[in-house]
Amino acid sequence: MPPDGLLTHELDPQDHGPQDACGVFGVYAPGEEVAKLTYFGMYAIQHRGQESAGMAVSDHRRIMVLKDMGLVSQVFNETALNSLPGDIAIGHTRYSTTGGSVWNNAQPTFRSTGHGGLALAHNGNLTNTDELEEWLASISTGPVPHKERMDSSSDTALITALMCALGRTVAEAAMEVLPRLKGAFCLTFMEENALYAARDPQGIRPLVLGRLANGWVVASETAALDIVGASFVREVEPGEMITIDADGLRTTRFAEAQPKGCLFEYVYLARPDTTIRERPVHSVRVRIGEILAEEHPADADLVIPVPESGIPGAIGYAGASGIPYGVGLVKNAYVGRTFIQPSQTIRQLGIRLKLNPLRDVIAGKRLVVVDDSIVRGNTQRALVRMLREAGAAEVHVRISSPPVQWPCYYGIDFATRAELIAPGLSVDEIATSIGADSLGYVSLEGLTSATELPGSDLCRACFDGVYPVSIPTRAEAPGIPVERENQERLV
């Protein structure tokens, strides 16, 4: 399931929108059924990736890995989990941004280090893989295939190969490899007797630490801690590596912290019941709606959300504006992702497979419709048309994020810049394109203020084009304008 049940961009398979790369989980808990804890932890972060799921479990003698394409519930069952005894485990849910959506790219990856085994799971995206491949070739004793011809074509396989090629212990290898990684990375990895977690110096993706009665948990979001009964301890610090073994928990810093947490996590990537930087995500989203009402008021009769991701913003907008909040769209809770290609006749039905209007609620009403973001505009165009056909007198669209202007290189799979609607059109032109009576986006300043964090502590590159970590060259990443190629706007 996505974070709020159903994301706007999942309403129309042809309108691909932002997707997060992955979710990671790890547990060290002697005497517990760690495979089952990991299963439930992965369930809690399923929204961060729905293409494949996997886990690695150690009984201190060997590491066993089970992974496959599909959702957590499709890959694992009671029999499979009972076949994975142990005290240490890591889990992963994947959405591909680097490497294709194939079995070989499912995680965790596994390799022999010469001292034992290494299993590793990664959330994020590296931006210096060419440099890392050259390093791997220089330290490897044998020929090194290009990562597209490795056992996996993901950058996760590259990290694993580097740590194994050094011929050192996992802890020693990690402290040499981690400082040379650039981009976004939250890692959980393990050997037979220890669990590790590490986060990039910018802390772009979330990673948290939790405590069990007799063990420790690391996870992409605090919601996963809640699900497995762990108490929140703190966030894993940017530039920090944590080691957990029979001697307890130890922490090592491999780089100076330069916080640049992803602002889009607050818009909809994270679950609403997650906390990031001491701010409950649901509360942030409600506050965004309040700011949206202040910045873009409307003369209307009813505020309705696009379920489910628009709900907190609509609650905030209604509260701040004094316009009643209502449910005008009903979601089919049993429609998820489908691999069945629709016929033209079915495609013309558009989003009605997943959403249907409550005609008696919206007929004759002037509506404020709150959504999380606009990517291409196809979904909003279909929604506005559907609401008008159901009798809405006016449709005023309000968006809980600024216009998405730039692609992400840190683990979110956005449409290319050429496919985004915002760079080529003004707000009024977008309103005309989707058929709305008016359109308002929350300002970047307003969105930032809702997080109660300084803008200098956030990555806002998808909105302002200021990338906090070096990005691929223009040749490697088409769509980057010339000024991005020479890094003029990097900070």
| 256 lies in the same domain as 363 | no
Provide the domain limits for residue 279: 275-453+460-464
CA distance 448 to 442: 10
For residue 347, being part of any structural domain is answered with yes
Given the residues 21, 22, 64, 368, select the one marked as catalytic: 22
**CA distances (Å), 144 to each of 136, 147, 181, 367, 428, in order?**
7, 9, 19, 59, 53
105 and 245 co-located in one domain: yes
User: Does 244 map to a domain?
Assistant: yes
pLDDT tens figures, 164-208: 999 899 999 999 999 999 999 999 999 999 999 999 999 999 999
Helix (H, G, I), strand (E, B) or coil at 448: helix
Binding-site residue set? 262, 309, 371-372, 408, 459, 462
Residue 152's H or E segment, with its range, is none
Residue 462 near residue 407, CB atoms below 8 Å: yes
The CATH number for 164's domain is 3.60.20.10
User: Do 81 and 166 share a domain, yes or no?
Assistant: yes
Check whether residue 253 and residue 399 sit in a common domain. Answer: no
Contact 390, 361 (CB under 8 A): no
Whether 186 sits among the annotated catalytic residues: the reply is no
Residue 360: which of 398, 405, 400, 390 has the closest Cα? 390
Which residue ranges make up the annotated binding site for Mg(2+)?
309, 371-372
Task: Note whether residue 10 is domain-resident.
Answer: no
240/281 same-domain check: no
Domain identity same for 293 and 239: no
Q: How confident is the model over 93-109, as pLDDT tens digits?
A: 977 544 444 446 678 99
471 band by pLDDT with thresholds 50, 70 and 90: confident
Please report, to the nearest 10 degrees, the dihedral formed by the alpha carbons of residues 290, 308, 106, 32 taken in order.
90
Asked if residue 479 is part of any domain, the answer here is no
480 inside domain: no
Say how many residues make up the chain. Answer: 491
Q: Which residue has the tokens 């050192």?
A: 168
Averaged pLDDT for residues 61-81: 93
Mean pLDDT rounded to a whole number for the chain: 86
SS (H, E, C) 196-265: EEEECCCCCCCCEEEEECCEEEEECCHHHHHHHCCEEEEECCCCEEEEEECCEEEEEECCCCCCCEECHH
Q: What is the largest CA-CA distance in the chain?
A: 74
Q: Are residues 279 and 140 in the same domain?
A: no
The residue ranking higher by pLDDT, 141 or 437, is: 437
Most confident of 92-96, 186-190, 332-336, 348-352: 186-190
For the segment 268-290, what is each residue's pLDDT rounded down to a tens digit?
Answer: 899 999 999 999 999 999 999 99
| 54 and 128 part of one domain | yes
| 209 within some domain | yes
Q: Domain holding 322: CATH number?
A: 3.40.50.2020
Residue 354 has pLDDT above 90, yes or no: no
- In a shared domain, residues 283 and 258: no
Please report whether residue 184 resides in a domain: yes
Say yes or no to pLDDT of 370 above 80: yes
| DSSP E strand boundaries for 70-156 | 88-94, 109-112, 117-126
Give the domain-ending residue among 262, 292, 312.
Answer: 262
Does residue 145 have a pLDDT over 90?
A: no
If one counts the domains in the chain, the total is 2
Residues 281 and 250 in one domain: no
Percent of the chain at pLDDT > 70 equals 83
476 lies in some domain: no
Full-prediction pTM beyond 0.75?
yes
Of 15-19, 214-218, 250-254, 302-306, give the lowest mean pLDDT range.
15-19
Mean pLDDT of 344-353: 65
Residues 244 and 344 in one domain: no
Q: Are residues 350 and 313 in the same domain?
A: yes
Percent of the chain with pLDDT over 90: 71
